[in-house]
Structure 1
Amino acid sequence: MNTTGIFYAPKGGSTEKIARKIHQHLPSAALKSVPEASVDDMMHYDNLILGIATIGKETWNQEIKKSGWDLVMPHIDKADFTGKKVAIFGLGDSVTYDLHFVDAVGILGQKLRERGAELVGFTDTKDYNFRESKAIEGDQFMGLPIDEDFEEEKTDERIDQWVKDLTKKMS
């Protein structure tokens, strides 16, 4: 039986809110925040759903200590994700940061692919308004983009469809 872990950061904001919504669709999946859960914890699961924000208060306030994915990234560089199916969801602002929309999804996705992960959960770009993103591969995002700032009304439908597609790919 395949096991699934949902890992997200940062805690306490929109990324956690979306992780919890995804977890409602997949109640048998483990739900853990990063870095409280480590890369070693991720290795216990066949399937991973990872949540990341592109821009957060840590980006603007240099006095905030590193947290979340910033602390985990160096450990991802040393891990072997071969045999893991990984889906990524990312929070971004498609209006204010339309030149960097959900860039973190692409950065994390490339890093995981280099470490042997099979990326699943790609999303067509046609329903999104933005100019550039490091998360684009062909005509798809390397995961599920969520814009809680300007497209919150689309979030639940996007999650529903994405999770339905994921369950087929992760079984």
Structure 2
Amino acid sequence: MSKIGLFFGTQTGNTEELAQAIQAAFGGSDIVELFDVAEVDIEALRDFDQLIIGCPTWNVGELQSDWEALYDDLDDVDFSGKTIAYFGAGDQVGYADNFQDAMGVLEEKITSLGGKTVGQWPTAGYDHSESKAERDGKFVGLAIDEDNQPELTAERIQAWVAQLKPAFGL
């Protein structure tokens, strides 16, 4: 079994904590290896056939700064044949018009470069008006709102990981 590479960007540490919780839900570092995109070369994405991408939506619908710095470099990575899941952190109340936009921006880019998206998540239970991460009535990945629904985070992560395991051959 090959490892899953989980690449995250974080401004305040929240997305890193979510990445660690996802890693633990999968069974630890023997299954999921964590990478802070601020500290790793984009080339590391090539080393994994299965990826999890984590990004908070920052400011008003923007990519977190480390992902923003790497965004154009993603064009140099061939994502063909890679299975990719996404998770995002955002605030559905304060930023209802762009909740989880960063996750959607990354998913759209990586899909255009050949990546296969898995792990779509229902929009039910969220109170937002618009999102670039919404496709066909679902989010492209796990939407986490630690600002307004922290009590749901652990349950959502467990359910999402259970959904992902078959997609990742686990």
State the number of aligned residues: 164
Matching of residue 3 in structure 1 with residue 3 in structure 2: yes
Matching of residue 140 in structure 1 with residue 143 in structure 2: no
Q: TM-score, normalised by structure 1?
A: 0.91
Q: Secondary structure at the match of 1:111?
A: helix
Which structure 1 residue ranges, 5 or more long, are not aligned? 60-65
Matching residue within 128, 152, 164 for 2:126: 128
Matching residue within 29, 49, 53 for 1:50: 53
In 2, the alpha carbon distance for the partners of 1:12 and 1:129 equals 23
Offset, 1:14: 1.0
Equivalent pair of 2:45/2:77 in contact (CA under 8 Å): no
Offset, 1:55: 1.3
Q: Aligned residue for 2:152?
A: 154
Q: Aligned residue for 1:85?
A: 83
Matching residue within 69, 74, 95 for 2:72: 74
Residue type of the alignment partner of 2:93 = V
In 2, the alpha carbon distance for the partners of 1:141 and 1:52 equals 14
In 1, the alpha carbon distance for the partners of 2:48 and 2:154 equals 26
In 2, the alpha carbon distance for the partners of 1:81 and 1:37 equals 18
In 1, the alpha carbon distance for the partners of 2:8 and 2:49 equals 17
Q: Aligned residue for 1:63?
A: none
In 2, the alpha carbon distance for the partners of 1:161 and 1:46 equals 22
Matching residue within 29, 35, 42 for 1:39: 42
In 2, the alpha carbon distance for the partners of 1:13 and 1:94 equals 19
Q: TM-score, normalised by structure 2?
A: 0.91
Which structure 2 residue ranges, 5 or more long, are not aligned? none
